[in-house]
Amino acid sequence: MNKLCFFLFFMVLQSFSLSLIAAESNKDEEIAFLKEQVKLLMQRVTDLEKNQKNTAETKKEEALLHKVEKKDGLQWEIRGYAKLDTVYSSTSAGANSIGDEFIVNSLIPRKDQDGEDGQLKLTARESRIMVSTDYAFSGGHFKTFISGDFFGNKPSSSETLNNNADFRLRQAFGDLQTEYGNFRIGQAWSTFQNLSAFPHMTTLGVLPGQIFTRVAQIRYSWPFEQGSIQFSMENPESHFRDSQNTAIRPDDDRAPDFVTRVNWTPEWGHLSLAGLLRDLRCDIPGVCEDDATGWGISAAGRIVLGGKDNLRFQANWGDGMGRFTAGTVYPGAIIDDNGQLQTVEVKSMMLSYQHWWSERWSSALIFNIADANNLSINPNAIEQLQTYNVNLLWWPINRLRLGLELLHADSELVDNSEGELTRLTFSSKFIF
């Protein structure tokens, strides 16, 4: 019995000893495991601090890039793009002429006049800088926008020296958005034109079928479900020509141009109908002493055809519209030999189809036509214009667009002479 008790006591003691040894072994393993976990946690903390530092530096770089600041609720941003256009024209528009860089409808070379065949220009003047602000308050938003490019004055010797060109103001306005409607005050695109109907093109200039002008204005917009109605008073500028096709700007305007536009924005696009009313006046002793009323109607829009493909259009008709369509090629009126104003009727149209081949490749086919009446006393005036564009645009990365575009333009004058231009443009647009 004593031997049995001794044996059992020995076995219990051995088991307890083994347990202590195992516990000690497990303790060592746990300590090693905890040390490994602490090491991993320290590494994670180090990585997080590094990432936080990188994120802070990235945000700082982005802030420096876009200049986005917030102070007392005000947010502002600088953006724009650097763009180089390589332009080859079949015929030069003349020495140091902007017509070799920019489509100017009145400068389309005439077939019956000698001109330099083949003209190459490289220009970065379309490069643009834009500054915008946004201030939120209890009743809405107050926004401002200023933009400009480098199509200002360019000395004739510029290309000989350092290719300098003056900065030019494009837009500068403030928007006040409230529950009572939206107000825009400043220089902006005319209310008479629908920006969503602009074609996707890389050629510089104004196509003849477009309503295209920026002007100082006071605009009121009242939004409603799927649309808005807009009213504006815009800076007037009467532009006439005499029987010798000499441009005359009398600066005798006494009333603003009035514009009304209705916008409809269904899910499948954007449509608009706009009306224009103008007072044309000329009081130059011995030249002209008369006034007339000008008017215009514009229907424009963008229709989504499926995916990103879309159709854009403008159809314009008016009498005395002048500078609102096709640039300055059509005056608001002709001054006859008696010093009276004969308003010029213009009909114009633009049609553009854009097709996306993939997420980064697209093409557009663009057709424009403009036709004017009541120009018969001016045999050198351009009566009809047509342009055809086809392009291929590629976005290799999100902020870089490369484009190749072919344009052909035809003009017909009152005396039945004709003009013609073919132009190939390669552009690179770096967006910031």
Whose CA is closest to 121, among 106, 149, 99? Answer: 99
Helix (H, G, I), strand (E, B) or coil at 189: strand
**Domains in the chain: boundaries:** 1-66, 69-431
Instruction: Please tell me the distance from the alpha carbon of residue 203 to that of residue 210, in angstroms, as a whole number.
Output: 14
DSSP letters spanning 109-142: PBTTS---EEEEEEE-TT-EEEEEEEEEETTEEE
Q: Find out whether 318 and 297 touch, Cβ atoms under 8 Å.
A: yes
How high is the pLDDT of residue 64?
Answer: 46
Within 285-399, strands assigned E span: 288-306, 309-319, 333-335, 341-343, 345-356, 361-373, 382-397
Residues 6+ apart with CB under 8 A from 219: 183, 184, 185, 188, 191, 230, 231, 232
Map residue 160 onto helix, strand or coil. coil
The pLDDT assigned to 158 comes to 76
What kind of fold does domain 69-431 have according to CATH?
Porin (2.40.160)
Question: How many Å apart are CA 40 and CA 46, to the nearest integer?
Answer: 10
CA–CA gap between residue 234 and residue 190 (Å, rounded): 8
Structure tokens that stand for 352 in this block: 């553009």
CA dihedral sign of residues 355, 357, 358, 364 = negative
* Cα radius of gyration rounded to whole Å, the chain: 34
- Distance from C-alpha of 241 to C-alpha of 236, rounded to nearest angstrom: 17
Q: Which two tokens stand for residue 134?
A: 């946004």
CA end-to-end distance (rounded Å), the chain: 97
Residue 56 has what pLDDT? Answer: 52
Query: Would you give the DSSP letter of residue 344?
Result: P
Give 3-state DSSP helix, strand, coil % of the chain, rounded to 5. 20, 50, 30
pTM across the whole model: 0.81
How confident is the model at residue 270, as a pLDDT? Answer: 97
CA distances from 105 to 11, 93, 143, 317, 323 (A): 112, 11, 35, 18, 12
**CA–CA dist 429, 432 (Å, integer):** 10
Residue with tokens 């991993």: 40
Confidence (pLDDT) at 426: 97
Contact indicator for 248, 288 with CB cutoff of 8 Å: yes
Question: Tens-of-pLDDT digits for all 432 residues of the chain?
Answer: 444 444 344 444 444 444 444 444 455 666 666 667 666 666 765 666 655 555 555 454 444 445 555 556 899 999 999 999 999 999 988 777 888 888 888 889 888 877 678 899 999 999 999 999 999 999 899 999 999 999 988 877 678 878 888 999 999 999 999 999 999 999 999 999 999 999 989 888 889 999 999 999 999 999 999 999 999 999 999 999 998 888 999 999 999 999 999 999 999 999 999 999 999 999 999 899 999 999 999 999 999 999 999 999 999 999 999 999 988 899 999 999 999 999 999 999 999 999 999 999 999 999 999 999 999 888 889 999 999 999 999 999 999 999 999 999 999 999 999 999 999 999 999 999
Instruction: Provide the token pair at 420.
Output: 């013609």
Query: How high is the pLDDT of residue 49?
Result: 60
Question: CA–CA separation, 381 vs 330, rounded Å?
Answer: 8
Closest CA to 407 of 427, 420, 390, 385: 390
Return the sign of the alpha-carbon dihedral for residues 188, 191, 193, 196.
positive
Q: Give the model confidence (pLDDT) of 322-347 as tens digits.
A: 999 988 899 999 999 999 999 999 99
Q: What is the dihedral of CA 126, 328, 206, 87, to 10 degrees?
A: -60
Q: How far apart are CA 201 and CA 156, in angstroms?
A: 28
